[in-house]
Chains A and B, each alone.
Chain A
């Protein structure tokens, strides 16, 4: 049996990998969930076709990052997986059901004719909305912490319901909608693009509002988080993040008004990254916040070593061919639904 634990901090490496994977999921599925959230508000059916076509080749791959996030957590930190999944039982199930309704809509919508297409439009919209809202609630509950006894979750089935988690749920909905809108700006033109630009403006304002609310409420909720951010010298070291966030916001607002097509999407990603790092720093080094650390939750070194060996080779390959697929489908999306095949 081989193991790299003698010269590598395996749990730390895996923590890095898992948060990278979850971030990639948030970015990639974020924009296609966002498109689902904005879907019924698009001005015409042609717009909707364009939006759907712009993500149809990618949604399978995007959702696979969620499987890798779940599978990776199970493999690298089985204890955290075993505590968090029962804690988030209902929101996870609702998220999965939401993902089912939106996922099948990709295939069914283009095969439906007449009025039945409406059903799949709403299946796509509501599925995306529910899945996103639940992911946001899971995030809120996660930061808030869950009840743990020994190696098990010990709280009740509705512990995840709180005003804070509801707020993070709505926050994520606006965040994904921003990603979806800026993606649409990048991948479409004409009316659809103009509409998406307008959406992006509103969504950006909401995102800024929620960023402020979450940044304020987290230190208020938890003493450790407050001490982490507001003591010297941490305060100075952590300044680049709020500053960068503000810069990204200003640039994004200007881009939305000056007609840039590509940069808004990447600025939105940057904004997400800043928030994500902020949450990561606040919950460090907890994998089940304030109860189980990442070292405590880690799988055995043999297990982490084997999968690490595979990941080191496979993840770059995956990123390369995912990039290739995005490159194949570069350019503006068509509105003709039979262009699908």
Chain B
């Protein structure tokens, strides 16, 4: 009844679950830390208390997210050993130092200065507090650098040799760290993280504007988010394309799975919709645009794209997951670009802060980044299968000598624990959002220094806040 319940599948499922759960937190905190640094800088520069209040609201959300990121991250550093001990033994020489550097250069910075960022308000100067925020933001980026280098090495291994005992040894650290897919994957992920944050911040700003709450703060949130959506979302399309071309060069089987392409074709079509069928080696219900896939991948209408049948059945990644995860990611990316364009038009018409449908739309887009990031990781990780280290080490040969039942039970325990923690975390974050920025007495004054009677704010919330 459960043909997939073999230890390899269980261990993969466990890793997929814990790592996908974990990555949603860094995907948010990488961007949020940088954004908080900008907000605090604006506060220090302009002295406008609105920025301080926005910062103080979001730093609490940052704390909850970061805490969940830390505890789920500790799990990962031990999971290489618990579930993948043969992998750990074989690639320890290569990946160990990279992960070691991640801890030494990033984790300590983040964890130590986070304390000052959260609790240091009355204990250090404003400048030192700002410095702490900057250090945390830098730490998140350094961390992304190392972990993406390690992951990219598993995709496009370089700078190593295989010893007689099957162990891998480094031969050139520069080639190993800056392996062929690393620059693309790093930029693509960091940009993805920035967009994730932008859509969360913009979504909450949009929600406040829609409901007529915290209008002045919400304008800052939505406005800054739209700057990201307008400029960075289209750039992400470009980065993603470059990353895809890099994958086409080094991992063509993955690209064939992303495209749902079974036969090698000159002038391959771009499949918009298909149901890939791994056993019968074909797609059902296909909707395709002729020649577009070849154009994107080879920049030639009749360029050749290798189909999945070029590889032995045992060397092909699971097509269905890769195919659909890719479409979800790209689809959300397109929606983000469209949001940016709509935002730009509304801004030029001076209606950005008064168009309710757009605020509702932004609210709906709040989770877009998370879904896109996780989908993207499914594309690249499932697309690497059946290898753990591409073309070097098969996933099935890297498993720990632990019984499947241990893996199954621990997977169940993780699902339950993470489910509880996620529910509680989401609840408290929603509560923080519901509470909104805390305003002090200064706040009754509008941004132009004119005292606003509290009545206006009440009125504004009834009328949707369009006139404030």
Contact in complex: B103, A71 (CB < 8 Å): yes
State the Cβ distance, B130 to closest chain A Cβ, in Å: 15
Given contacts A108-B424, A328-B120, A340-B119, contact A322 B169 (CB under 8 A): no
- A61 CA / B105 CA spacing, docked (Å): 13
**Distance A314 CA – B100 CA, assembled complex (angstroms):** 11
Asked if A325 is at the interface (CB within 8 A of a chain B CB), the reply is: yes
Q: How far is the CB of B104 from chain A (nearest CB, A)?
A: 4
A176 within 8 A of B: no
Which residues from 251 to 297 on chain A have a C-beta closer than 8 Å to any C-beta of chain B?
Answer: none
Min C-beta distance of A328 to chain B, whole Å: 5
Within A287-330, the residues touching B (CB, 8 Å) are 299-300, 302-303, 306-307, 310-311, 314-315, 318, 321-322, 325, 328-329
Which residues of chain B (181-227) have a CB below 8 Å from chain A? none
Contact B60–A97 (Cβ < 8 Å): no
Q: A100-B72, A108-B428, A310-B101 are in contact. Are A303 and B93 (CB under 8 A)?
A: yes
Q: Is A106 an interface residue (CB 8 A)?
A: yes
**For chain B, which range describes its interface: under 10, 10 to 19, 20 to 34, or 35 or more residues?**
35 or more
| CB-based A-B contact count at 8 angstroms | 237
For chain B residues 94-130, which have a beta carbon within 8 Å of chain A?
A: 94-97, 99-105, 107-116, 118-121, 123-124
Is A93 engaged at the interface, CB distance under 8 Å to the other chain? yes
* Interface flag for A67 (CB, 8 Å): yes
Given A104-B67, A157-B403, A300-B170: A325 in contact with B74 (beta carbons within 8 A): no
* B368, chain A: closest CB distance, angstroms: 25
Q: Chain A contacts of B86 at CB under 8 A? A: 82, 152
A241, B195: Cα distance in complex, Å: 57
Residue of A nearest to B101 (CB): A310
Could you tell me the distance between the alpha carbons of A315 and B104 in the complex, rounded to whole angstroms? 7
Partner of A314, one of B95, B104, B405, B425: B104
Whether a CB of chain B sits under 8 angstroms from the CB of A210 is: no
**B71, A99: Cβ atoms under 8 Å?**
yes
Does B56 interact with chain A (Cβ within 8 Å)?
yes
> Are A100 and B75 neighbours in the complex by a CB distance under 8 Å?
yes
Count of chain A residues with Cβ under 8 Å from any Cβ of B? 64
Contact with A along B147-187 (1 / 0, CB 8 A): 00000000000000000000001111100000000000000
Going nearest first, the 5 A-B pairs with the smallest beta carbon separation are A78-B92, A85-B81, A75-B96, A57-B115, A60-B111
Q: List 27 A-B contacts (CB under 8 A).
A: A56-B115, A60-B67, A63-B111, A68-B103, A68-B107, A70-B81, A71-B77, A71-B99, A71-B100, A72-B100, A74-B77, A74-B81, A75-B96, A76-B96, A78-B89, A81-B85, A81-B89, A85-B85, A85-B88, A86-B81, A299-B93, A303-B94, A303-B170, A310-B105, A328-B120, A329-B123, A341-B59
Interfacial residues, chain B to chain A (CB-CB below 8 A): 56, 59-60, 63-64, 66-68, 70-75, 77-78, 80-82, 85-86, 88-89, 91-97, 99-105, 107-116, 118-121, 123-124, 169-173, 400-403, 405-406, 410, 413-414, 417, 421, 424-425, 428, 431-432
